[in-house]
Amino acid sequence: MAQQNLLKKKPTTKKKSIPKRPKTGLKAIPLDRNFRYCRAFFQEEVDQKDIIKLCKDYVRKAFSKSEAQAILANPEYHFSMYSGRAASIFWENHGLTFEEPFQEYPE
């Protein structure tokens, strides 16, 4: 009888999967830090294609149709050249405030 107990399999339980925080891209930017960290994160971690998409979406929303067409006629590298602009667009889209040295960005 003791051998029968050893041969029985224990019921397996499924592991609960914990949602993981993304480590790259726009979703990985921590919003609890300051804008300086966000700007540095854009320079280091965010892909250029994400920066381009963010800037183009902002241009479509913020400008009139004729102005947006003229701006979007520029080559793609013009949108990814300055990652600080994309960081400020991201920061402003989330409704966060800019600290003292960066007060000029929203204008």
List, for residues 41-100, the tens digit of each pLDDT value.
998 888 899 999 999 999 999 999 999 999 999 999 999 898 889 999 999 998 888 888
Measured between alpha carbons, how far is 69 from 53 in angstroms, rounded to an integer?
15
Q: What was the pLDDT predicted at 66?
A: 95
Over residues 6-30, the mean pLDDT reads 73
Identity of residue 64: S
Measured between alpha carbons, how far is 34 from 11 in angstroms, rounded to an integer?
49
Q: Which two tokens stand for residue 92?
A: 């402003």
15: left (phi over 0), alpha (psi -120 to 50) or beta: beta
Over residues 22-47, the mean pLDDT reads 85
8 Å CB contact between 26 and 50:
yes
- The runs of H, that is alpha helices, within 1-107 are 2-7, 35-44, 48-62, 65-72, 77-80, 83-93
Q: Find the angle CA(16)-CA(26)-CA(15) to the nearest 5 degrees.
A: 5
Q: What was the pLDDT predicted at 107?
A: 61
